[in-house]
Amino acid sequence: MKYTVITGASSGIGYETALAFAARGKNLILVARRKEQLEELQSEITRIQPDVEVIIRTTDLSIIENAYSLYESLKEYPLETWINNAGFGNFASVAEQDLNKITTMLHLNIEALTILSSLFVRDYSTIEGTQLINVSSGGGYTIVGNAITYCASKFYVSAFTEGLSHELKSQGAPMQAKVLAPAATETEFAKHAFDITDFEYHGAVPKFHTAKEMAGFMLDLYDSNHVVGLVDGLTYEFELKDAILNYVERTR
């Protein structure tokens, strides 16, 4: 009896990914800050997939100690897949960005993801069938104006995960490490990035995907042997790719 862990599962891509994996009969451990939304998702999955076990963990992963305590609390569960989806963005010039918000974003987007990835790899890299999927962004491969710090955080996610994929393969480890890189997606992302109470994608964003569509792309990436699942920022077509970034083997 194995489990798939999804962080940032209370809404958006994480929420729909939980439903998509549940539809495949995957037992789930769902992580987010908002307990009420997690409980609603747990009830919904139990209603439509009664044979799926759903465990919830309420925690704020921008507090780094919580990343360690979360992982420790899951030691009793055999894990199969870990999806680091929790994260948020920011739109502002570097000179004008709110540094308290930026600090929190870097803790979540970079530090928590690195800690959780490292702990999972440490325990499971030698186990057949395991996967680590980190959610980056199209902004993790292209720098977007007025979102420079956010993009830089996602460049880290892309580079870290692609590099880990090379490392695992060079070690002959069966675990696969993969990057999902969405473009604009109809979620709560814009509200948090702009610090506004509401945002309507229709009419404001020329092209975007729904969270459910992105969850479908997540499954496509999961089913593949590719490293990167990238939404083209111009055509909005989803592409499965081998590693994109240059990687140089260390010589002794």
Predicted TM-score of the model (pTM): 0.96
Amino acid 252: pLDDT: 66
- Domain 3-241 in CATH 3.40.50.11440? The answer is no
Residue ranges of the alpha helices (H) in 140-188?
148-170
Domain ranges of the chain: 3-241
The CA-atom distances, in angstroms, between 96 and each of 90, 131, 154, 198 are 11, 38, 20, 22
The CA-atom distances, in angstroms, between 3 and each of 30, 55, 84, 103, 153 are 10, 9, 14, 31, 28
Residues of the chain with pLDDT under 50: none
Amino acid 135: pLDDT: 98
